């Protein structure tokens, strides 16, 4: 297909995926790993390079190593994700820590779409854009830290279950025949895995009828360390039930080994455990994207 020549645009609002509980099946779907990182759009304009975040912020300096590795002479706009790979999977906490330290050595850019290549490609089918991206990177001998995101076709649920076993964040399923649209669409679907844990409740924030949030800890040997808070996942009725249970074990001070300042906290003896689903643990050791699933009592140390 001949791509019509027009002036290269600035930042393009990204296409976003719709969350689904189950992966689709059929040869019309491409399934990719869902990377846990920063969505990044790279603009290459005859030697000039710019890197934009998902919201259009210019982060060229922060990702200068990735921009430098994309040594492509013409015009191109590449969509992808910057990640850090830790213990076999992408890890957002490790990525945050690298960026906070100003390091780029561990950054990897998984390119998964080509929006522009000496002309606008967004109306082309997804499968054609991916092949053009693969060709572009190959023809220019682009390698690490830039990688092309691979995909599988067929049984998406099977790939999702495999991703869950490997503790990946999930998968993205994309319609092979769909164009690129700068909005949240059903032609891109995201199916997420979750991690689960049981954490002692060390305190809570009151609301008029129950709790607004629970503070959580974790046993590490003889120490009780702070793990952050959870503030979603309960109804008003459940919130009231939690409050009644925690009111029976209120403590005058925190039982944490190392104290944390929480002016709104009502501290409790760590005799109740919260079942929590979460995405990850941050570089500070705190739960990320946590959701409450249940409360149990355990008076054992």
Dihedral in degrees, nearest 10, Cα atoms 162, 14, 55, 171: 0
Residues noted as catalytic: 34
- What does the DSSP 8-state code read for residue 268? B
What SS3 state is found at 211?
Answer: strand
Q: Mark out the alpha helices in the chain (DSSP H runs).
A: 64-69, 92-100, 126-139, 156-165, 236-246
**Ramachandran angles phi, psi of 260, nearest 5°:** -125, 145
Q: From CA 44, how far away is CA 67, in angstroms rounded?
A: 8
Short-list 168, 220, 214, CA closest to 191:
168
Tokens of 297: 């009592």
Of the CA atoms within 13 Å of residue 225, those in its CB half-sphere come to 11
């Amino acid at each position: 297909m001949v791509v019509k020549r027009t002036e290269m645009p600035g930042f393009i609002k990204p296409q976003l995926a719709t969350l689904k509980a189950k992966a689709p099946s059929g040869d019309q779907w491409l399934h990719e790993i869902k990377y846990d990182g920063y969505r990044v759009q790279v603009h290459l304009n005859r030697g000039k390079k710019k890197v934009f975040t998902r919201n259009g912020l210019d982060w060229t300096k922060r990702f200068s190593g990735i921009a430098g590795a994309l040594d492509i002479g013409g015009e191109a706009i590449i969509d992808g994700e910057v990640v850090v790979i830790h213990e076999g999977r992408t890890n957002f906490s490790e990525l945050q820590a690298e960026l906070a330290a100003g390091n780029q050595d561990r950054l990897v850019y998984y390119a998964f779409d080509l929006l522009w290549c000496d002309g606008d490609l967004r109306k082309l089918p997804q499968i054609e854009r991916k092949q053009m991206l693969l060709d572009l990177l190959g023809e220019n001998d682009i390698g690490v830290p830039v990688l092309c995101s691979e995909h599988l076709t067929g049984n998406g649920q099977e790939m999702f279950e495999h991703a869950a076993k490997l503790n990946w964040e999930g998968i993205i399923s994309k319609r092979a025949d769909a164009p690129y649209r700068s909005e949240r669409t059903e032609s891109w679907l995201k199916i997420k895995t979750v991690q689960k844990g049981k954490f002692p409740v060390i305190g809570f924030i009151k609301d008029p009828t129950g709790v607004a949030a629970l503070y959580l800890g974790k046993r590490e040997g003889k120490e009780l360390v702070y793990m952050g808070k959870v503030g979603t996942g309960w109804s008003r009725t459940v919130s009231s039930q939690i409050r009644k249970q925690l009111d029976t074990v209120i403590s005058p001070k925190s039982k944490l080994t190392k104290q944390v300042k929480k002016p709104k906290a009502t501290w409790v003896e760590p005799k109740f455990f919260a079942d929590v689903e979460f995405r990850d643990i941050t570089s500070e050791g705190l739960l990320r994207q946590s959701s409450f699933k249940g409360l149990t009592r355990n008076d054992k140390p």
